[in-house]
Structure 1
């Protein structure tokens, strides 16, 4: 059940292989395990994708791919989940990450605004940077761990329900 739901939202693997930004991975993109969807590859892909969604750097998709390939988790899912942080969702997600960082470091909250640019990133490194980066790493790690556990649970539950449905159909 979970597999079919996830597969409906995944991009075509041929389109991903043709992405110019991913060509740097060359022959590694031809590993069949990167394209299969099973319990192990799904929970790993969710963890990789959600971790990098919280990391405030450009090229999140390339970083997610660079980690998904050696871990041999589902590449399209890893890349797609990075887009949870998009121009619409970045400001609230990154502000929350900043708040988490200020709480962890015990810093005083400062005025926070987000702009998706190198200039903003370099200007912010000295003011809100430490709290923002710590918060982003913590939020990314927590999201990765929670998604790993939740996807594993939901996948097992779906398989169990499918087996029960088969057994009840078989018994009739």
Structure 2
């Protein structure tokens, strides 16, 4: 299952708790939901990780870690999901969220050539922030909800599939034993 794959890449709770940079969190890191892979913890982590990934804020990882602590969901998954908007994908995602916000506000999207300079950002931010923020929150909520419900459905499917597979294996084994005993 994906659980075993994730366990290979996720740091152990002991490694995270013993990290000296995290001692200021005290007992907050001792909540078992922060590191357990169960349906609730992972689904909520998907919601918050995807929601925060689409917010145009600096320091998404600490914000995601704070959300994981606050909502008691899987910390490593929440933090890892914010990397969906990495430096390569961020322009695409934030342009999409800007367009969504412009559409909802019924404002004309700016047709200016974007520049990667602080001067351009300072001059244009007054026109960009409302549609960007609204679009980011809305798409974050939508993608977060899709991630939450998608993970819930996948988890249920996987449990049912594993259960049926075990039942079939038991039935096959019983048939073989019956043949051997005959």
TM-score (norm 2): 0.83
Q: Post-superposition, which runs of at least 4 consecutive aligned residues in structure 1 deviate over 2 A?
A: 1-20, 22-27, 111-117, 119-125
Count of residues paired in the alignment: 170
Q: How do residues 33-112 of structure 1 correspond to structure 2 at under 5 angstroms? A: 33-110=33-110, 111=112
Task: Give the direction of change, closer, same or farther, for the CA distance of 1:48–1:120 in structure 2 (3 Å limit).
Answer: farther
Deviation per residue, 1:148-169 (Å, 9 max, x gap): 1100001100000000010000
Q: Which residue of 2 aligns with 1:127?
A: 127
TM-score (norm 1): 0.87
| Larger RCO of the pair (alpha carbons < 8 Å, separation 6+) | 1
CA distance, structure 2, for counterparts of residue 105 and residue 99 of structure 1: 10
Q: Which runs of 5+ in 1 are unaligned?
A: none
Q: Which runs of 5+ in 2 are unaligned?
A: 173-182
Aligned-pair Cα RMSD in Å: 2.4
Larger radius of gyration: 2
Q: Which residue of 1 aligns with 2:151?
A: 151
- Shift, 1:70, TM fit: 2.2
Task: Give the direction of change, closer, same or farther, for the CA distance of 1:123–1:41 in structure 2 (3 Å limit).
Answer: farther
Any conservation in 2 of the 1:13–1:35 contact (CA below 8 Å)? yes
Deviation per residue, 1:99-157 (Å, 9 max, x gap): 0000010010102637597x766544311110011000001000111111100001100
Deviation per residue, 1:37-64 (Å, 9 max, x gap): 1000010000010000001111111111
Any conservation in 2 of the 1:16–1:76 contact (CA below 8 Å)? no
Say whether residues 1:138 and 2:167 are aligned partners. no
- Judging by fraction of residues, say which structure has more helix: 2
Task: Give the direction of change, closer, same or farther, for the CA distance of 1:162–1:114 in structure 2 (3 Å limit).
Answer: farther
